[in-house]
Structure formats: C-alpha cells, structure tokens
C-alpha cells in the first residue's frame, strides 16, 4: 500500500548554546556546517545584528538532523566564530510577514527550551504533501495548510533555489489547553530534492548514512491515546511489540514507549517530561568505528539490549543519540 507519508524527513534538536552543540556533534563524528543566523540592523545606520532563530544540519541523502536555537538579547558572544551571518533581504511589502514568521519561530524555540533542552521537532517526509494535507483534514487533524518557502542553496553547479513545502499539525503548545502535540512540533515535508540534498555534506566520520528511528516516551496511561493520534497522523496502524508501539515507515520507524519501559529500551534513561521525544537513531556503516571514535573523544557510550550503541541524553544535550549498524546491501 502506498502511503502519503513515507519516511522520516528530519528531527530538530533544540539547544541553548549553538557553539556547544556544534562542538558536541562534531566530536560525535557528524559533519556539520557552520550555522546560519539571520541579521538585521536594529536602527538606521547601525550594524546588522543576529536575531530570531539559527540552525544548521547534519545531512543524509533522504533525511537530516537539525540543530536549532533562538537568538536572545546579549547572545553576540555566544555565536560560533564560523557562523554564517545572513542579512535579511525581502521586498518592503513582504518584510513585515517575514519578520513575523521569524519572530514566531524564535518564540516557539524559546518555549521548547523552557520545557527542556533536547529533541522537540519531528517532521515526516511525504511524496505528495497535498494528499497528506487532504487526508489529515478528512481525519479531523488540524493543520495550517501547505506552506512554501524558497531559499537559495549553494551547490557544486552554482546557486540553486530549493523549494520547501510543508505543513505543521496544529498545537498551541504546553500549558495552553491544546496539548495535541505537547511533545513538540510535528508535521510533514515534501520529499527532499535528491540533487540538492546530494550536494550537501554527507560524508560523516562516524559513518552515519540515514535517520532511522525516533523514540517518543509517553505516560503509560496515555499510550493508547497517543497511539491513536499518530495512527491518524501517519494513516496506518501501529505494530505492537510487547508494551512498545511501532510505526513502520520506509527504512525507519517511530517508536512509542511507555515511561515504565524506557529503561528496558535504553538503560538508565529518564524522560525530561511526558510526553517527550527522548532519542533518535542513525544507521552507520560500522559500529566498531563509532565505538573507537567516541572512545577516543571521551564521550560516554552505552549498549542497548538490542545491540545498538547510544550516547546518554545527559551527555548529549538532552537527547539520547543511538547508533545502529546499517544492514549489509544484498
């Protein structure tokens, strides 16, 4: 059966200090380019200053991991030296809307950080984003419609324009009475452009090749409700595996685990809140390479009962990062 949501598109690790996050991810063996910070002059004649939200990606061919942070007043000294400062440019008629959107994004990231530092964004990949929007609406799942953003991308063949079409499932966030996606920002994005994605940094020293799993921890009493919610989101039933519920995607999975069972999946892990995205997994070419690299970097590493290696959330800015051996091609 062909689904309008196929795989994982990206996860967003929301951090308080981008420089610290970059250092961590590079020590973990991810190739992460300098982050982009929008800039704008606070007054006429003044020098442009970073504001709003900043991000960067660890990219794979079909997915990526996003590092994101909000820029607060006085953050100038915490901006990485290699950051890419992007002057905000838009026609006068579009500038107010652009500023409003950047402000909204920054405010959402600030709310996420106030809850905890860690994984707060989960976006699924859709081969037909319009069909996804129609199905969700028919299933009674609120969303803001399909948005489109165009952005310039530097590739080996020159500057190209990347079109990103996406939708976000409605939520007003924690504490507002609308807790449909209290775990974070959830939505769907049109499949990545293979040519553009292939031009990004894809050769990671740790051998990571794809984003293959996200773990959502929920209160045991809420498991059935969250399962039903994601069955609506994804248009497919969950698979029961003991107390765990799994949604099988194309080469990936979303795993729902009750809080009472999390340590059986990831020893000694505890959720910072409930519900919460507590871990993500990447496929790697050789687990032995990961073990040696992280040992050399002095990064704590644990082994799960299934044989995966993972860096505990306490050592990885609030989210457990799991490394799993990629299957050997037939």
Q: What is the DSSP string of 258-277?
A: EGGGHHHHSTT---SSSSEE
For residues 177 and 322, give the distance between their C-alpha atoms in angstroms, rounded to a whole number.
33
For residues 171 and 157, give the distance between their C-alpha atoms in angstroms, rounded to a whole number.
40
Structure tokens at 161: 């324009």
Given this model, what pLDDT does residue 77 score? 59
For residues 76 and 49, give the distance between their C-alpha atoms in angstroms, rounded to a whole number.
8
Q: What is the CA radius of gyration of the chain?
A: 20
Reading the chain (330 residues) residue by residue, the pLDDT tens digits are 689 999 999 999 999 999 999 999 999 999 999 998 888 776 667 777 788 889 999 999 999 999 999 987 666 657 888 888 877 766 777 777 777 777 888 889 999 999 999 999 999 999 999 999 999 999 999 998 999 887 777 666 667 888 999 999 986 444 333 446 899 999 999 999 988 898 888 999 999 999 999 999 999 999 999 999 999 999 999 999 999 999 999 999 999 999 999 999 999 999 999 999 999 999 999 999 999 999 999 999 999 999 999 999 999 999 999 999 998 765
Alpha carbon separation from 118 to 1, 19, 220, 299 (Å, rounded) = 34, 15, 21, 18
Given this model, what pLDDT does residue 172 score? 45
Given this model, what pLDDT does residue 174 score? 40
Structure tokens at 113: 């950080």
| Contact yes or no for 39/5 (Cβ under 8 A) | no
Given this model, what pLDDT does residue 74 score? 65
């Amino acid at each position: 059966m062909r689904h309008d949501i196929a795989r994982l598109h990206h996860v967003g690790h929301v951090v308080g200090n981008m420089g610290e996050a970059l250092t961590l991810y590079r020590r973990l063996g991810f190739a992460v380019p300098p982050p982009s910070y929008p800039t704008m002059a606070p007054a006429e004649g003044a020098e442009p200053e970073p504001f709003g939200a900043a991000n960067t990606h660890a990219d794979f061919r079909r997915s990526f991991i996003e590092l994101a942070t909000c820029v607060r007043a006085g953050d100038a000294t915490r901006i990485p030296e290699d950051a890419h400062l992007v002057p905000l440019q838009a026609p006068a008629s579009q500038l107010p809307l652009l500023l409003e959107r950047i402000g909204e994004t920054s405010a959402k990231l600030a709310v996420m950080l106030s809850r905890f530092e860690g994984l707060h964004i989960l976006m699924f990949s859709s081969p037909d984003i319009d069909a996804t929007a129609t199905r969700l609406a028919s299933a009674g799942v609120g969303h803001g419609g399909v948005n489109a953003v165009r952005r310039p991308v530097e590739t080996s063949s020159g500057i190209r324009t990347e079109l990103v079409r996406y939708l976000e499932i409605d939520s007003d966030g924690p504490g507002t009475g609308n807790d449909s996606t209290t775990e974070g920002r959830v939505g769907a994005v049109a499949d990545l452009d293979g040519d553009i994605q292939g031009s990004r940094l894809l050769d990671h020293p740790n051998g990571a090749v794809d984003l293959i799993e996200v773990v959502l921890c929920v209160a045991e009493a809420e498991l059935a409700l969250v399962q039903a919610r994601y069955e609506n989101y994804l248009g497919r039933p969950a698979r029961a595996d003991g107390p765990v519920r799994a949604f099988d995607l194309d080469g990936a999975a979303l795993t729902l685990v009750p809080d009472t069972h999390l340590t059986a999946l990831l020893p000694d892990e505890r959720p910072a809140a409930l519900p919460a995205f507590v871990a993500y997994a990447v496929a790697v070419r050789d687990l032995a390479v990961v073990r040696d690299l992280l040992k050399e970097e002095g990064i704590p590493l644990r082994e799960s009962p299934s044989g995966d290696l993972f860096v505990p959330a306490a050592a990885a800015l609030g989210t457990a990062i799991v490394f799993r051996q990629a299957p050997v091609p037939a």
